[in-house]
């Protein structure tokens, strides 16, 4: 395999997806392979799933992983939506042990944002850009002058009105849990986005995750002062960005 290629992995609440990515062009060179996230999403179970994806592609090279939590130097520091056994696990070392491959692990929203900034909706934007991934939870990534400020866990902001965790109130999982209509859900998301606007005054907000596909299709407008655009790479952004994060492992 040529040195421009990395196996990108996106760990989600319902599925773990992977594909081989040309990190020079940002293109996936294989169809993505998805396996259901183990019901007991322990480190061992999730890493074994990643190993299965690597085996599917007969992969022995570098691996980039997007993980749904705060990551510091490859170590998991929060586990809001996964098994608590992840806390303080060195995911990069665990992956190398079980797959034999060097890896880089970063926050999943940061991974998606990196892909959009390099190849998608945020390309060439040098202002303050925020990526919001709206799905089972709410992930956030912040960029200024094209540089990532990692681990912005704004999905867990406390909002006004006694809302102590934004994603439990405004995510797609919340829509299902509260049996919200589409209009009711959009009103909650607007309130959340307005809060983000007032805190950070971004130049651009990119909406990713499962909601990205529906923004243009349904003609959704949040009536915000900040320009809002759907992610161009859609659900592939996490895979591509994770691979890009591991580019530094490739031989020059």
HEC per residue, 79-106: CCCCCHHHCCCEHHHHHHHHHCCCEEEE
d(CA 59, CA 217): 37
- Pair (86, 137) in one structural domain: no
- Pair (133, 99) in one structural domain: no
Q: Which residues contact 155 (CB under 8 A, 6 or more apart)?
A: 137, 138, 139, 140, 165, 166, 167, 171
pLDDT of residue 1: 46
In a domain, 114, yes or no: no
Of 20-29, 96-105, 174-183, 208-217, least confident by mean pLDDT is: 208-217
Of 1-15, 24-38, 190-204, 236-250, least confident by mean pLDDT is: 1-15
In a domain, 115, yes or no: no
Q: Whole-structure pTM over 0.85, yes or no?
A: yes
User: Would you say 228 and 207 are in contact if contact means Cβ atoms under 8 Å apart?
Assistant: yes
Q: Count of domains in the chain? A: 2
- Pair (158, 218) in one structural domain: yes
The owner of tokens 């915000």 is 224
Kindly report the length of the chain.
Answer: 252
In a domain, 151, yes or no: yes
**pLDDT bucket at 215, cuts 50 / 70 / 90:** confident
User: Would you say 207 and 132 are in contact if contact means Cβ atoms under 8 Å apart?
Assistant: yes
User: Would you say 247 and 6 are in contact if contact means Cβ atoms under 8 Å apart?
Assistant: yes
In angstroms, how far apart are the furthest CA atoms of the chain?
A: 54
Who wins on pLDDT, 1 or 221?
221
Terminal CA-to-CA distance of the chain, rounded, Å? 14
In a domain, 112, yes or no: no
- Pair (36, 98) in one structural domain: yes
Q: What φ, ψ does residue 166 adopt, rounded to 5°?
A: -60, -45
pLDDT of residue 226: 93
Q: Is the model's pLDDT at 201 over the cut of 80?
A: yes
In a domain, 53, yes or no: yes
pLDDT digits (tens, 9 = 90+) for 158-168: 887 778 889 99
In a domain, 116, yes or no: no
Percentage of the chain surpassing pLDDT 90?
72
Q: Distance of CA 96 to CAs 43, 52, 103, 170, Å?
A: 13, 14, 7, 36
pLDDT of residue 2: 55
- Pair (39, 134) in one structural domain: no
User: Would you say 20 and 236 are in contact if contact means Cβ atoms under 8 Å apart?
Assistant: no
Average pLDDT over residues 90-97: 96
pLDDT digits (tens, 9 = 90+) for 32-83: 999 999 988 999 999 999 999 999 999 999 999 999 999 999 999 998 778 8
CA angle at 42 for the pair 38 and 46, rounded to the nearest 5°: 55
Structural domain that includes position 138 = 121-232
pLDDT of residue 160: 74
d(CA 145, CA 124): 9
Question: What CATH number should be reported for the domain holding residue 178?
Answer: 3.30.420.40
């Amino acid at each position: 395999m040529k040195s421009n290629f990395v196996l990108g992995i996106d760990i989600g609440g319902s599925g773990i997806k992977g594909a081989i990515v040309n990190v020079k062009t940002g293109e996936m060179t294989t169809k993505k392979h998805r396996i259901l996230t183990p019901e007991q999403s322990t480190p061992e179970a999730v890493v074994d799933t990643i190993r299965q994806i690597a085996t599917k592609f007969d992969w022995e090279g570098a691996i980039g992983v997007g993980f749904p939590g705060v990551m510091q130097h490859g170590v998991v520091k929060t586990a809001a939506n996964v098994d608590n056994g992840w806390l303080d696990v060195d995911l990069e070392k665990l992956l190398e042990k079980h797959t034999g491959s060097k890896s880089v692990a970063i926050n999943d929203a940061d991974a998606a944002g990196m892909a959009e900034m390099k190849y998608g909706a945020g390309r060439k934007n040098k202002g303050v850009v925020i990526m919001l991934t709206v799905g089972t939870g709410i992930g956030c990534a912040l960029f200024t002058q094209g540089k990532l400020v990692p681990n912005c866990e704004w999905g867990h902001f406390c909002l006004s009105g006694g809302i102590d965790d934004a994603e439990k109130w405004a995510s797609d999982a919340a829509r299902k849990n509260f049996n919200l209509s589409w209009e009711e859900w959009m009103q909650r998301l607007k309130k959340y986005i307005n809060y983000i606007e007032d805190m950070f005054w971004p130049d651009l907000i990119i909406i990713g995750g499962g909601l990205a596909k529906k923004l243009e299709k349904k003609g959704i407008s949040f009536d915000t002062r900040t320009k809002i655009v759907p992610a161009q790479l859609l659900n592939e952004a996490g895979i591509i960005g994770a691979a890009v994060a591991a580019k530094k492992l490739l031989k020059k």
